[in-house]
């Protein structure tokens, strides 16, 4: 009986070590954008929803690291939770939006990822992104009914984020698509304040004109 117990304990220990080794291999492969290793581990039953040492979902890590080949492999798994959130309540679609990863965003949306989650939204992340695909990402999200004036927990809108942190063309697109330039966040700041802080004089004038169209009898801002 004692020998049997020792064998069972040894087997369990070997299994635990194997799982630990697979976990390390999995997240190292994500870092390296090694899709073959990730695909192999998934075929052997590794959980695509595994989390790293910081409790970040694997798909979030892949999208944040811009490991696009690995992200595509993970997104192909029907077991993947496309709404897995990290400690900051960031979703995979928010990560794809920030990185301008249109292929991942389209796949996530097709799998019913929440375009209009509460709090910070994918559109906020796309609007503040400096990624090459940011403009196309904003268009994609708007095409899928992203709320253009979504308020963050402190009332900041995508237009405000774009005005200071994102690309000027993105801010202009949001204005053209009907974003409200007169809204203010909980600090009393509007898109105009954000643009002025970034010293984007051309965009400042665009926002002033948009505000005047909404409130034609309003004075200077």
**pLDDT digits (tens), the chain, 221 positions:** 555 543 333 333 334 444 558 999 999 999 999 999 999 999 999 999 999 999 999 999 999 999 999 999 999 999 999 999 999 999 999 999 999 999 999 999 999 999 999 999 999 999 999 999 999 999 999 999 999 999 999 999 999 999 999 999 999 999 999 999 999 999 999 999 999 999 999 999 999 999 999 876 555 55
- The pLDDT of residue 214 is 84
Kindly report the CATH number assigned to the domain that includes residue 129. 1.25.40.20
Do both 82 and 162 map to the same domain? Answer: no
Do both 82 and 175 map to the same domain? Answer: no
- The pLDDT of residue 135 is 98
Reference 99, options 139, 128, 69; nearest CA is: 128
Which of 71, 88, 105 marks a domain boundary? Answer: 88
Range of the domain at 205: 115-216
Do both 83 and 123 map to the same domain? Answer: no
Count of the separate structural domains present in the chain: 2
Do both 57 and 139 map to the same domain? Answer: no
The string of DSSP codes covering 26-84 is: HHHHHHHT-HHHHHHHHHTT--TT-B-TT--BHHHHHHHTT-HHHHHHHHT-TT--TT-
- The pLDDT of residue 169 is 98
Do both 120 and 211 map to the same domain? Answer: yes
The answer to whether residue 95 is domain-embedded is no
Question: Residue 143's CB: how many other CB atoms inside 10 A?
Answer: 10
Do both 69 and 136 map to the same domain? Answer: no
- The pLDDT of residue 221 is 58
Do both 70 and 152 map to the same domain? Answer: no
- The pLDDT of residue 102 is 98
């Amino acid at each position: 009986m004692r020998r049997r117990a020792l064998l069972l304990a040894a087997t369990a220990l070997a299994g635990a070590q194997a799982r630990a080794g697979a976990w390390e291999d999995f997240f190292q492969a994500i870092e390296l954008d090694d899709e073959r290793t990730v695909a192999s581990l998934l075929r052997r039953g590794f959980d695509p929803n595994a989390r790293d040492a910081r409790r970040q979902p694997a798909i979030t890590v892949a999208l944040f690291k811009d490991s696009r080949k690995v992200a595509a492999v993970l997104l192909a798994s029907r077991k993947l939770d496309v709404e897995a959130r990290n400690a900051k309540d960031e979703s995979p679609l928010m990560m794809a939006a920030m990185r301008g990863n249109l292929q991942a965003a389209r796949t996530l949306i097709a799998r019913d990822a929440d375009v209009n989650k509460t709090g910070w939204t994918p559109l906020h992340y796309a609007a503040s992104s400096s990624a090459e695909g940011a403009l196309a990402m904003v268009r994609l999200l708007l095409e899928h009914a992203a709320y253009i004036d979504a308020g963050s927990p402190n009332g900041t809108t995508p237009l405000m984020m774009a005005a200071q942190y994102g690309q000027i063309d993105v801010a202009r697109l949001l204005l053209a698509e009907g974003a409200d330039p007169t809204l203010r966040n909980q600090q009393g700041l509007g898109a105009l304040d954000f643009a002025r802080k970034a010293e984007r004089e051309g965009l400042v004038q665009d926002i002033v004109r948009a505000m005047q169209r909404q409130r034609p009898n309003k004075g200077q801002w």
